[in-house]
Amino acid sequence: MKFALIQMNSGMDKAANIASAKELMEKAIAEEKPDWICLPEVFDFMGGSFEEKRAASEILPGGPAYSMMQEIARKHGVYVHGGSILERLSDEPRVGNTTVVFNRKGEEIARYSKIHMFDITAPDGKQYNESAAMRPGDAVVTYDCDGVTVGCAICYDIRFPALFQALADKGAQVIALPAAFTLQTGKDHWEVLCRARAIETETYFVATGQTGSHIQGNETRFTWGHSLVVDPWGHVISRASDGVGYTVARIEPDRVQRVRTMIPVAQHKIDMSKLAK
């Protein structure tokens, strides 16, 4: 199977973001004919105030970002792993940071909301308080893609190995991680973490990033980009150049099984809670 990763530089113009995503997806489809295509985290709206995020959010199913992805999937007969979009919640003012997945017929087959919130102070002193605007999800999600099990995660989730072990336990052969990794952390941690998660779970790790700058309040912030695909042995087999664009890679499910046969870590797991303290 051929997977395509779309790398974007989204901002606060939602209509422009959706148009850019559609154009990049159709370019990748025309040139590479992928089976599966992934967008980055919050491709529909990046930056802005809490009120602006809320105004840009969509009630699912429905809304312009949701409908565009559904149309692309149906029109071109591809799986669309919808990065993430801002989901309007009915029971509180915060929004969901939510992945929606469509099959080749344009049918929604999975929905995942980011579990781990990015509440940190970056090396340059900028503060990120994601939980103030976004509600964390509470479910481990996988789905079937033509016989291949794909697991869902988003950005900061990458730092929490237990989630990825849970995805592997649910049968994931590929794990998709749309992201908007900061420049400061990305230059030191992005590839290391992607390769580590692939090696630990013996899966293909498919990480799609935002790139470039965006405005958050009175600050200009920068994302790392460098979308990449790591195979189950930990080799980077595809990588996007700097800037907006895409990269593709072939996924071989048999390679997952070969690696798991060589090093059967799943069979060697020990329940650490049962060990003597």
Catalytic residue positions, numbered: 41, 114, 155
> Within 10 A of 267 (CB to CB), how many other CB atoms are there?
7
Token pair for 2:
């051929």
Residue 239: phi and psi, rounded to 5, are -150, 135
User: What are the CA-CA distances from residue 53 to residues 89, 126, 191 (Å)?
Assistant: 12, 19, 29
> Within 10 A of 31 (CB to CB), how many other CB atoms are there?
11
Identify the three-state secondary structure at position 53. helix
Choose among 204, 242, 237, 205: nearest CA to 225.
Answer: 242
Residues with Cβ within 8 Å of residue 183, at least 6 apart in sequence? 222, 223, 224
Q: With contact defined as beta carbons under 8 Å apart, do 195 and 223 qualify?
A: no
Strands (DSSP E) along the chain, which ranges? 2-7, 36-38, 79-81, 85-88, 95-102, 108-113, 119-121, 127-129, 134-135, 142-145, 148-152, 174-179, 204-209, 211-216, 219-224, 228-230, 236-239, 245-250
Cross-strand pairs, 80: 37, 102
Query: How many angstroms separate the most distant Cα atoms in the chain?
Result: 58
* DSSP conformation class of 132: G
